[in-house]
Structures are given as C-alpha cells and as structure tokens.
Copies of this chain bind each other. A is one copy, B any other.
Amino acid sequence: MYTVARHAGVSIATVSRVLGGDRRVRAQTEERVLASARAVGYRLNGAARALATQRQGTIGVVFPNLSGPYYAGVILGLEETANGLGQSVLIAGTQDRPESEILVLDLATKVDGLVLFGRTVSDITIAELVGRRVPVVMLGRPPVASASSVRAENRRSAAALTAHLLEHGHERIAFLGDPRSSPDAAERWEGHLDALQVAGVEQRLPDVCAFREADGRRVAAQVLRRRPAPTALLCASDEIAMGAGAAAADLGLRIPLDLAITGWDDIPVARHLAPPLTTVRQPLAELGARAAALLHAGIEGGGPEEATLPTELVVRRSCGCEVPS
C-alpha cells in the first residue's frame, strides 16, 4: 500500500479510501490511485482488512460429510447468494468426529457467522456460539436459542403423501428414516402419523434408517422379510428410496405392483428411475439462499428470524399412479 501511495503521490489513507470504496475522494485523485494500483499489481490484503475492520467477509457452513444432492444443492444456492452479498463461503464437514465442536468454535473466529445443518452441532455449542455473539442460522432443524432458522415444510407434505398411499389402498406402510437423529425426518414421521390417525389406520414404529442408499437397502431388506410384509415404503429421502428399490429388486418384487415406494427431496434422478419416483420436492437452492440472506441480516445486526419454505408433492409412478411421464 505504501508503494502505491508513493507511486500516486498520496498517503496510504487515500489509497485505502479509494480501494475501500470510500466516496469522499476527488475523482481525479481516485483515478490516479487506481492507475497506480494497477501498475504495481496491488490488491488489498484480506487478513489485514479483517483485523482492522473486524469483518471477515466470510461465512461458514457446517455440514455432515454426506455426499448426495441435498447438501450439494443447498450449498450451491447458499454460495451463490452469499457471493452476491459480498461474502465468501467457508465449508466445514463434521465427519462425525467428536472434535467437531472445537472445530466449529475455531471456525467461528474466521468467519462473520455460521450456517449449521441439521444436527451437526450440539445444542451446547450452539448456545456457546450465540453467547459469543456469533450470528447463527440453522438449517433443517427446529429453532433454538436466539438463532435464525430456515427449513422446509415437512409435516403437511408427509401427511399428504401418506394419505395418497392410503388412497391407493395401502394399509401396511413402513416408514424408513431416523426421526431421532434428523429433525427433518422427525417432522416427516409426525406428518405420517397425522395421516394414519385421520384415516384410523394402525400406527407402527419407524424403521430406523440413515439418509444413505446403502442403509436404505439394508433396512428395506429386513423390513420386506417381515410377515405380514408392508405393501408400501415411505422413505425419508430419495436415496433411501433408491436403496429400498434395490432391495425390492433383490427379492423379485415389482414396483409398484407388488410394492409402492416413495422418497423425499426430488433429487434430479428421481424422475429417471424405473419406475419414476413419487416424492416430495424441496427447494434446495432456495433453502441455501434464504439461509445466506438471514445470516447476512444477522451479521448486519438484525435479530433472529425464521423461515419455512413450502414443499410440493410430486406424484410419479412408484406409488402406483399412472402418470403420463
């Protein structure tokens, strides 16, 4: 910066002003500085700026290291709008390590705020974060403390989906998912129960299954051997549903003739499966975008807010419907 200042014949304060976008500089001076900066190939130093302004210009997002379209989609939306708001995005996967709490706390010193997915971080740590005045927005889990939160509507769509299955005549519906480890799954389970109750159908327990294809296949294989076997599988995610589909194929079951299967998320491939998967669409990118916006608001001093985005039942053929495609 001193180099540029000398080159342009001004003080570093002036250089700082024009490069920092401060308007109160004579146009002529500004131009001269800009030219000098370009001449010496100078750029403001991120760390020094951060230290002086107490602003990192970066937000962090903590997610479980699961692959799959869900996280990718949300993070993509998040990155895009964060970028539009002038914030970079730092990602941190908590590979279920125990030290992840420390990781998050340290991360907090490198960013202006955090977006936390589902159950990646314990309530204790969240409280700690909030106590440190770190703006936090939670994604896909019920709000806590004074942190913002954005999520997709779960309960109503789960009820609608269940009702749809009941209309197809299914009475033994198995729920594949893990309400205890995922707030989203918990709400979907609730909605499922709501619909069963309305219809006066006997309720059963969820078949615990993580959000992964392999687990879906494993759990479905067990469930389908039960007698009497369920005639429909309500899966808490499309990936579980894909695994379930594989398990069904292993047993020689035809979908949807012998068994109906539904998913959740409407990941891109859902429509290409055989048969196309009936599922519930979540606005992935929009979830991320809202999270970025809410976090930005929080960083700017705004109070906590909540947003619940609508979801949409996507009826295709795996539930037994005859849909033109």
- What is A's interface to B at a CB cutoff of 8 Å? 41, 43-48, 50-51, 54, 56-58, 65, 67-69, 71-73, 75-76, 79-80, 83, 88-93, 95, 103, 105-110, 128, 132, 213, 242, 245-246, 268-269, 272-274
Query: Would you call A56 and B46 a contact (CB within 8 A)?
Result: yes
Give 19 CB contacts A-B under 8 Å: A41-B128, A43-B109, A44-B106, A45-B51, A47-B47, A47-B51, A47-B109, A50-B50, A51-B51, A67-B69, A67-B73, A68-B72, A69-B69, A69-B72, A79-B92, A80-B93, A83-B103, A242-B269, A269-B269
Q: Counting chain B CB atoms within 10 Å of each CB, which of A41, A46, A71, A92 scores highest? A: A46
This chain: copies in complex: 2
- CA–CA, A51 to B47, complex, Å? 5
- With A268-B213, A273-B272 already in contact, the answer to whether A65 and B79 are too (CB < 8 A) is yes
Q: Which residue of B lies closest to A93 (CB)?
A: B79
> Known contacts being A56-B46, A67-B73, is A89 close to B88, with CB within 8 Å?
no
Complexed CA–CA distance, A50 and B48 (Å): 8
Q: Which residue of B lies closest to A51 (CB)?
A: B47
What residues of chain B lie closer than 8 Å to A41, measured between beta carbons? 128, 132
- In the complex, the answer to whether B43 meets A90 with C-beta atoms within 8 Å is no
- Extra pairs beyond A67-B73, A83-B103 (4, CB < 8 Å): A68-B268, A69-B72, A76-B93, A79-B91
